[in-house]
Amino acid sequence: MKKWISMLLLCTLLGALTACGSDTVKEPEKKPSQADTSGQEAEDAKEPAAEAAEPENGKESLSDGKGKKGLVVYFSWSGNTENVANSIAAQTGADIFKIVPAEPYVDDYDELLDIATKEKQEGERPVIADTIENFEQYDIIYVGYPIWWSDMPMILYTFFDSYDFSGRTIAPFCTSGGSGLSGTVNSIKELEPEAEVLDGLHIGDSASSDPDSAVEEWLKSLSF
Ligand SMILES: Cc1cc2nc3c(=O)[nH]c(=O)nc-3n(C[C@H](O)[C@H](O)[C@H](O)COP(=O)(O)O)c2cc1C
């Protein structure tokens, strides 16, 4: 059995005693300056500076096929979510931006489990290395993440704290070992009440190396 599954079961059993459940995650605050990030790092997060990369397929980044300008933003530790992100960017022509932590995660899986547990328990907001330039130019943002402990990794909370999603459309997608979207779409709706949040896409980690048809079907199903 994968270690995260046994640890998840253990956390569920211990419940409130272990403070491992999702209700232990601090309610994210809206502004970077108010989040757990501090000092210059939080200041830096306010003003997008780095440019989102153009998609490699050479498509016009203006179009997602529905006349809106799209951006794919994702975090991925082991590459599964990245495969899905690349497929979305290739199929829509959206720009793409990878969320990279300012302090890189370890390569060791067991160590990562411990780090992710601590981040969740303490409601941390890991600092993102780069910022997105002219975020306001995007109408639809495809947001991708692996499921960590039945939730988004805490660095996604940093991301949602850092930008103004009012009037924009969010299309969430995730990969995971066995859990589905795990309530993350509702979490995003709570974080971004002024945005339209569409139905999410979940792809299991074993299917994530060949995501094109699932992505195509999902994109067709979205109405925005
Ligand atoms: C810290 C950690 C916690 C995880 N928790 C879960 C979980 O709660 N449910 C699940 O189905 N998979 C869980 N997984 C498995 C990942 O969601 C899955 O392998 C995902 O596809 C990894 O995506 P990536 O390659 O983009 O990082 C966890 C993995 C890690 C590293």
Query: Distance, CA 128 to ligand 1 centroid (Å)?
Result: 19
Residue 118 is given by DSSP the state H
Domain boundaries, the chain: 51-221
pLDDT in tens, the chain (224 residues): 466 666 666 656 554 444 443 333 333 333 333 233 333 333 333 334 434 445 444 444 444 556 789 999 999 999 999 999 999 999 999 999 999 999 999 999 999 999 999 999 999 999 999 999 999 999 999 999 999 999 999 999 999 999 999 999 999 999 999 999 999 999 999 999 999 999 999 999 999 999 999 999 999 999 77
Distance CA 139, CA 127 (A): 25
In this prediction the pTM is 0.81
For ligand 1, pick from 2, 4, 10 the residue to mutate: most ligand atoms within 8 Å of CB.
4
Query: Distance, CA 1 to ligand 1 centroid (Å)?
Result: 13
For ligand 1, pick from 124, 145, 176, 202 the residue to mutate: most ligand atoms within 8 Å of CB.
176
Q: What is the pLDDT of residue 4?
A: 65
Fold of 51-221: Rossmann fold (3.40.50)
Task: Give residues (CB < 6 A) around ligand 1.
Answer: 4, 8, 76-82, 112-113, 116, 146-150, 175-179, 205, 208
β 140-146/169-176 pair status = parallel
In b/e form, how buried is each residue of 143-174, taking b as 16+ CB within 10 angstroms? bbbbbbbbbbbbbbbbbbbbbebeebbbbbbb
Residue 69 is given by DSSP the state -
Distance CA 81, CA 46 (A): 26
Query: Distance, CA 118 to ligand 1 centroid (Å)?
Result: 15
- Alpha-carbon distances of 186 from 1, 151, 198, 200, rounded to whole Å: 29, 11, 10, 10
